[in-house]
Amino acid sequence: MQKLYLIDGSSYIYRAYYAIKGLSTSKGLPTNAIYGFFNMLMKILNERKPEFLAIAFDPKGPTKRHLAYEAYKAQRPRMPDSLSVQIPYIYRLVEALNIPILMMEGYEADDVIGTVAKKWEHEGYEIIIVTGDKDMLQLITPRIKIYDPMKDKHYGESEVVGRFGIQPAQVVEIMALMGDSIDNIPGVSGIGEKTAKELISMFGNVENLLTHLEDVKKPKLRKLLEDQADNAKLSRELALIQTDLSINIDHNEFKMAKPDPDKMIELLRELEFSSLLKLFTPSQPEQGEENYTVLTEETGLSKVLKRVSDVKRLSIYINGDSPDNMVSGITGIALSVKDKEAYYIPMSENASAGGILTFQQVKRLLGPYIENPEIEKYSHDIKRHITLFKLAGFNPQGFTFDIMIASYLINPGRIDHTMESISLEYLQSAITRESDILHYPACQQADFIWRLVDKLDEKLVDTNVRDLFYNIEIPLAGVLADIEMAGVKVDTDILNMLSKEMNRDMGNICQKIYAIAGEEFNLNSPKQLSVILFEKLGLKPIKKTKTGYSTDEGVLTELALQHELPAEILAYRQLAKLKSTYVDALLGIINQETGRVHTSFSQTVTATGRLSSSKPNLQNIPIRTEMGQRIREAFVSEEGCILLSADYSQVELRILAHMSGDELLIESFKKGEDIHTRTAMEIFGLSSAEITPEMRRRAKAVNFGIVYGMSPYGLASDIGISQHEAKEYIDNYFARHTGVKAYIEKTLSSAL
Mean pLDDT to the nearest integer, 412-434: 85
- Name the 3-class secondary structure at 341: strand
User: In terms of C-beta density within 10 A (0-12 exposed, 13-18 middle, 19 or more buried), how is residue 235 classed?
Assistant: buried
Helices 723-736, 712-719: inter-axial angle, 10-degree rounding: 110
pLDDT of residue 650: 82
Neighbour count for residue 510 (Cβ, 10 Å): 14
What's the confidence (pLDDT) of residue 352?
Answer: 54
How far is CA 565 from each of CA 91, 527, 691, rounded to the nearest angstrom? Answer: 48, 16, 30
How far is 259 from 19, CA to CA, in rounded Å? 26
**C-alpha 702: how far from chain center:** 26
Q: Is the pLDDT of residue 131 over 90?
A: yes
Instruction: Give, for 162, the enclosing helix (H) or strand (E).
Output: helix 157-164
Please check whether residue 330 is in contact with residue 394, taking contact to mean a CB–CB distance below 8 angstroms: no
Q: Which of 274-278, 331-335, 667-671 has the highest mean pLDDT?
A: 331-335
At residue 551, the 3 state secondary structure works out as coil
Instruction: Please give the residue that has the higher pLDDT: either 620 or 131.
Output: 131
The mean per-residue pLDDT over the stretch 120-129 comes to 94
CA 37, chain centre distance (Å): 14
Do residues 364 and 347 touch, judged by C-beta distance below 8 A? no
Distance of CA 558 to the CA centre of its chain: 26
What are the angstrom distances between the C-alpha of 723 and each of 554, 661, 713? 10, 29, 5
Please, which residues have CB within 8 angstroms of residue 56's CB and are 6 or more apart in sequence? Answer: 6, 7, 8, 9, 10, 101, 102, 103, 109, 112, 113, 116
Q: Which residues contact 354 (CB under 8 A, 6 or more apart)?
A: none
Q: Is 668 exposed, middle or buried (0-12, 13-18, 19+ CB in 10 A)?
A: buried
Amino acid at 321: D
Per-residue pLDDT band for 187 (boundaries 50, 70, 90) equals: confident
Q: Residue 287: is its pLDDT beyond 60?
A: no
pLDDT at site 397: 98
- Rounded to an integer, what distance in angstroms lies between the CA atom of residue 295 and that of residue 400? 25
Name the CATH superfamily, with its identifier, for domain 291-486: Ribonuclease H-like superfamily/Ribonuclease H (3.30.420.10)
Tell me, what's the pLDDT at 546? 66
Percentage of the chain lying above the pLDDT 90 cut: 54
> What is the tens place of the pLDDT at every residue in 85-109?
999 999 999 999 999 999 999 899 9
Q: Could you state, in order of their start, the residue ranges of all structural domains in the chain?
A: 3-239, 291-486, 524-636, 651-751
Helices marked H in 326-473 — which ranges?
359-370, 382-391, 403-410, 419-427, 440-462, 466-468
Return the CATH architecture of domain 651-751: Orthogonal Bundle (1.10)
User: Sign of the C-alpha dihedral, residues 322, 323, 328, 330?
Assistant: positive
pLDDT band at 414 (very low <50, low <70, confident <90, very high): confident
Of 428, 322, 318, nearest to 380 (Cα)? 318
Q: Which residues, at least 6 apart from 707, have a Cβ–Cβ distance to it below 8 Å?
A: 652, 653, 656
pLDDT tier, 282 (very low <50, low <70, confident <90, very high otherwise): low
Measured between alpha carbons, how far is residue 658 from residues 249, 367, 661, 749 in Å?
64, 52, 5, 19
Winning range, highest mean pLDDT, from 229-238, 369-378, 643-652 = 369-378
Distance in angstroms (rounded) separating the CA atoms of residues 43 and 35:
12
Distance in angstroms (rounded) separating the CA atoms of residues 403 and 502? 45
Contact 350, 329 (CB under 8 A): no
Contact assessment for residue 139 and residue 147, using Cβ atoms and an 8 Å cutoff: no
| Class level of CATH domain 524-636 | mainly alpha
> Up-side HSE of residue 670: CA atoms within 13 Å toward CB?
9
Note every long-range contact of 362-370, with CB atoms under 8 Å and residues 24 or more positions apart, other chains counting: 362/301, 362/333, 363/392, 363/393, 363/394, 365/298, 365/301, 365/302, 365/305, 366/301, 366/305, 366/333, 367/394, 369/305, 369/308, 369/309, 369/314, 370/394, 370/395, 370/396, 370/397
Query: How many angstroms separate the CA atoms of 138 and 243, rounded?
Result: 11
What pLDDT is recorded for position 133?
86
The mean per-residue pLDDT over the stretch 240-261 comes to 89
Per-residue model confidence as pLDDT tens digits over 560-591 = 988 999 999 999 998 999 999 899 999 999 99
User: Is 268:242 a contact under the CB 8 Å cutoff?
Assistant: no
In angstroms, the CA 526 to CA 566 distance is 12
How far is Cα of residue 563 from the mean position of the Cα atoms in its chain? 33
Rounded CA-CA distance 69/683 in Å is 45
Q: What are the beta bridge partners of residue 319?
A: 332
Query: So what CATH class is 3-239?
Result: alpha beta
436 band by pLDDT with thresholds 50, 70 and 90:
low
| Residue 123 confidence (pLDDT) | 92
Q: What length does the chain have?
A: 752
In the chain, the percentage of residues whose pLDDT exceeds 70 is: 98
Top-confidence residue, 707 or 725: 725
Model confidence at 183, in pLDDT bands (50, 70, 90)? confident
Q: Which of 112, 223, 232 is nearest to 173 (CA)?
A: 232
In tens, the pLDDT along 204-221 reads 998 889 888 888 888 888
Contact 144, 156 (CB under 8 A): no
Handedness of CA 194, 200, 203, 206 (dihedral sign): positive
Distance separating alpha carbons of residues 501 and 482, to the nearest angstrom? 35
Give 276's contacts (C-beta < 8 A, 6+ positions apart).
38, 268
The whole-angstrom separation of Cα 104 and Cα 120 is 18
Contacts for 312 with CB less than 8 Å, ≥ 6 apart: 374, 375, 376
Q: What SS3 state is found at 347?
A: strand
pLDDT, one tens digit per residue, over 636-669 is: 999 999 998 888 778 888 999 999 999 989 998 9
Cα 334 to Cα 432: distance, rounded to the nearest angstrom: 14
Cα 166 from Cα 33, distance rounded (Å):
36
**Looking at residue 248, what is its pLDDT?**
81
The pLDDT assigned to 309 comes to 95
- Number of alpha carbons in the 13 Å side-chain half-sphere of residue 394: 27
Q: Where are the beta strands (DSSP E) in 278-340?
A: 291-294, 313-320, 330-338
3-state SS of 99-144 is: CCEECECCECHHHHHHHHHHHHHHCCCEEEEECCCHHHHHHCCCCE
Residue 288, pLDDT score: 53
Residue 429 and residue 445 in contact, taking contact as beta carbons nearer than 8 Å: no
Rounded to whole angstroms, how far apart are CA atoms 513 and 528?
A: 13
Spatial separation of the C-alpha atoms in residues 192 and 548, rounded to whole Å? 11
- Please say whether the beta carbons of 557 and 525 come within 8 A: no
Q: Which among 150, 130, 151, 152 is positioned nearest to 9, based on CA atoms?
A: 130
Number of neighbours of residue 683 by Cβ within 10 angstroms: 20
> What's the pLDDT score for residue 284?
53
